[in-house]
Amino acid sequence: MDITQFYQTFFDEAEELLAEMEHLLLALDVSAPDNEQLNAIFRAAHSIKGGAATFGFTALTETTHLLENLLDRARRGELQLRTEMVDTFLETKDVLHQQLNAYRASSEPDAEAMKRICAVLQQLAAEGDGAPVSAAPTSPFAPPPAAAAPAPAPAAPAAQAAPAADASGAPTSDIPPGQKRLKVTLSGVGEKDQALLAEELGNLGAVAGRNTVGDALYLWLDTTCDADDILAVCCFVIEPSQIDVQDASAVAAAPAAPAAPAAAPAASVAPSQTVEIFEPTPAPAPAASAPIEVPAAAAPAAPQAVVPPAAAEPIVVPPAAPQAASGGGGAQHPPEKRAAAPAAGGAAGHENSSIRVGVEKVDQLINLVGELVITQAMLAQTASSLDPMLHDRLFNGMGQLERNARDLQEAVMSIRMMPMDYVFSRFPRLVRDLATKLGKQIELVTFGQATELDKSLIERIIDPLTHLVRNSLDHGIETTEQRLASGKDPVGQLVLSAAHQGGNIVIEVSDDGAGLRREKILAKALQQGMNVSESMADEEVWQLIFAPGFSTAEAVTDVSGRGVGMDVVKRNIQQMGGHVEILSTRGKGTTIRIVLPLTLAILDGMSVKVGPEIFILPLNFVMESLQPRRDDIRAVTGEGQVVLVRGEYLPLVELYRAFEVPEARLDPTQGIIVILQAEGRRFALLVDELVGQQQVVVKNLETNYRRIHGISAATIMGDGSVALIVDVAALQRGQRSAAATIFN
């Protein structure tokens, strides 16, 4: 069996563990550290180290080992945490992430970066309490040199063949000083996997005994490692439910009880559906810490009944990913204790509660469901010509098919949804580092982390949000001195929020800083030759900062430059089918609001007819529709036509003219006007008639055709015809630049 097939699983889970580690480090209060947080950080590092050692990722293993030692001392209260120490831990996390990416790309990690961060970690260890970590062996899993080769170990399995009841190969040799003996039972393992796992476990210590019974492998390991390391190694090859780790030190230390193993097979025959970790306790409480048996002196009257398996209360780690499996973290923080499941219990169902599926498979499923929806619509279109009274069973079946197709579509689409916490979790570190660099005190507050967005959108929104956050930190929020002089709280506040509104998601980046300076923006716009006036509404003035190359910053910093790159932010959001709005109050702060569709695969739209053609207007842009009167329409020089709607003149865009559609109604009073809003502006769109509102499957045109200005995508209608989906924002921009037409 080639262990490299498990690389991707390790890489994915290590990424999650590093993200969890960063989150916990940022939340850590160095003045009063929480033991639960320290234990969780330690377990994350511990799991990464175990997996890295399994796959031979030396640099990752050694770096994590140094970090793990410091974390272990901190959680035991042997090392006093300081802010600069947490900074070093965060920097170590960055180096670990770089090493992980290097191994993922089949290249060697940066040796200089590793050398530098390891030197810093060793220095921190030396500054602790006189027990420096720098003396750690090159291989963190190698046993101490004095116990590297215990002489009696090789002969131990043969020596154990004498007791008839103990055919398991348990060793009788003494345990080397400073080590413990773990009995590892791996059930349901093939011959090749047994050899592979035995070899890998041999890297953690000396194999004192080994036996194979059917598809079960029994190993006795003399090691300084604990059960977490065993689990971390094995979980990448077999399921956690196949692993059972027990402390066998008590058995080796009790030669007076050789007859006790007669009851042992009962414990080893029953397959375990949970991972049980038995940990010794230094206190004199043998009944609680020795799960296998107690010395004979403890029960002279009934040696055959010494502590049966059911009497010991195991520490059960539920079957899960390696980070959960390594939850013990030593005796300082044992995992939650719960009863072991029976062999046919629900543990197997629990371990299969989630699976990893490639995005391409999900996309293929979504495409197939989309085709099913289109086919259902075509069948409904065909059936509409039949008499419902004569074909009532057909119509009932069509109704049921429509409901099932809709439910299936919604269920499949939910698979691609991810919580916004995937994005928001990246910013605590960014805010912390930039605030320190800028010499500002800034508090980050997040809301709506559980709000879900399509995976394709959530990955593309990260860069625009990062740019907006950097701008707010650098140019929005004032320094501590400036805030105190203005009578504000010296600690500035940056708020990230997400919420669903209708069929959209609204993401806001808000700060309580100085706000935008209207006069400065207008002056800069005039300087750059832009067509602006003092009578412009605030919303229009704020949109100027999205113009290419526009910036009011007096000096460009390495953090940000408000305006520089903001045009890219806006363009990226528009490509996702969204738009950006800005709200700002001088002296109180600025809010940048991003409105996005929940998904790009399905669209709620209004179908309209122009001549013989059908177009789809995204419903989130539609405000209302009406039939105009002749007196409401005016022609304005240089601006094209406008229409009066409730006392406000709105630009009029004629869809037939924009796309050169023949046989359309030329008289506006004979058609319908749809009021649309995009990028904070409203305008009127002239169409021949409204067809209806429906949900459509979006088909990308750019795969086979060039990009068409004013068209974002296409869809297939129920009758099999193709309808184009209108890019409302492009129409609005075209009207402003070319007097009601998007063509020159």
What is the enclosing helix (H) or strand (E) of 208? strand 206-213
Four-CA torsion 23, 26, 29, 33, nearest 10 degrees: 40
Q: Measuring CA to CA, which residue among 362, 317, 360, 367 is closest to residue 337?
A: 317
Which is more confidently placed, 635 or 329?
Answer: 635
pLDDT tops 80 at residue 427: yes
Rounded to the nearest 10 degrees, the angle between the axes of helix 58-75 and helix 111-129 is 20
As given in the structure block, the two tokens for residue 644 are 């009066």
Only one residue has tokens 């179908």, namely 607
In this prediction, residue 737 carries a pLDDT of 60
Q: Measuring CA to CA, which residue among 410, 392, 407, 513 is closest to residue 452?
A: 410
In this prediction, residue 287 carries a pLDDT of 37
* 49: Cβ contacts below 8 Å, ≥ 6 apart: 60, 61, 64, 65, 68, 140, 232
Contact in structure between 462 and 427 (CB atoms under 8 Å)? no
Query: Rounded to whole angstroms, how far apart are CA atoms 524 and 516?
Result: 13
In 552-672, alpha helices (H): 566-575, 655-658
Percent of the chain at pLDDT > 70 equals 75
How do beta strands 648-654 and 681-687 pair? parallel
In this prediction, residue 556 carries a pLDDT of 52
Percent of the chain at pLDDT > 90 equals 20
As given in the structure block, the two tokens for residue 366 are 């979504």
CA distances from 672 to 625, 627, 628, 675, 688 (A): 7, 5, 7, 10, 6
* Residue pLDDT, tens place only, 504-522: 899 999 999 999 988 888 9
SS3 579: strand
Query: Rounded to whole angstroms, how far apart are CA atoms 348 and 334?
Result: 23
In this prediction, residue 114 carries a pLDDT of 92
Average pLDDT of span 298-327: 36
What is the enclosing helix (H) or strand (E) of 675? strand 672-678
Q: What's the 3-state SS for 209-221? A: EEEEECCEEEEEE
How do beta strands 442-447 and 417-419 pair? unpaired
Phi then psi for 87, rounded to 5 degrees?
-60, -40
**Amino acid identity, position 211:** N
Contact in structure between 695 and 603 (CB atoms under 8 Å)? yes
In this prediction, residue 281 carries a pLDDT of 38
Average pLDDT of span 659-675: 88
* 316: Cβ contacts below 8 Å, ≥ 6 apart: 274, 275, 276, 277, 335, 336, 337, 338, 339, 340
Q: What's the 3-state SS for 343-387? A: CCCCHHHHHCCCCCCCHHHHHHHHHHHHHHHHHHHHHHHHHCCCC
Query: Rounded to whole angstroms, how far apart are CA atoms 325 and 335?
Result: 9
* Residue pLDDT, tens place only, 510-562: 999 999 988 888 988 888 888 888 888 888 888 888 887 777 666 555 555 44
**Which of 24-28, 350-354, 442-446, 651-655 has the weakest average pLDDT?**
350-354
In this prediction, residue 639 carries a pLDDT of 64
As given in the structure block, the two tokens for residue 634 are 């005016």
In this prediction, residue 481 carries a pLDDT of 92
**Which of 220-224, 295-299, 541-545, 560-564 has the weakest average pLDDT?**
295-299
In this prediction, residue 446 carries a pLDDT of 94
Q: Measuring CA to CA, which residue among 352, 371, 368, 349 is closest to residue 360?
A: 368
pLDDT tops 80 at residue 178: no
In this prediction, residue 356 carries a pLDDT of 73
Contact in structure between 415 and 362 (CB atoms under 8 Å)? yes
Query: Rounded to whole angstroms, how far apart are CA atoms 9 and 325?
Result: 15
**Which of 139-143, 355-359, 388-392 has the weakest average pLDDT?**
139-143
- pLDDT band for position 316 (cuts 50, 70, 90): very low
- pLDDT band for position 229 (cuts 50, 70, 90): confident
* Residue pLDDT, tens place only, 48-107: 988 888 788 889 999 999 998 899 888 888 888 888 899 999 999 999 999 999 998 888
Q: Measuring CA to CA, which residue among 43, 25, 33, 127 is closest to residue 332?
A: 43
* Residue pLDDT, tens place only, 454-489: 888 888 999 899 999 998 998 899 999 999 999 999
In this prediction, residue 5 carries a pLDDT of 62
CA distances from 569 to 415, 469, 563 (A): 27, 12, 10
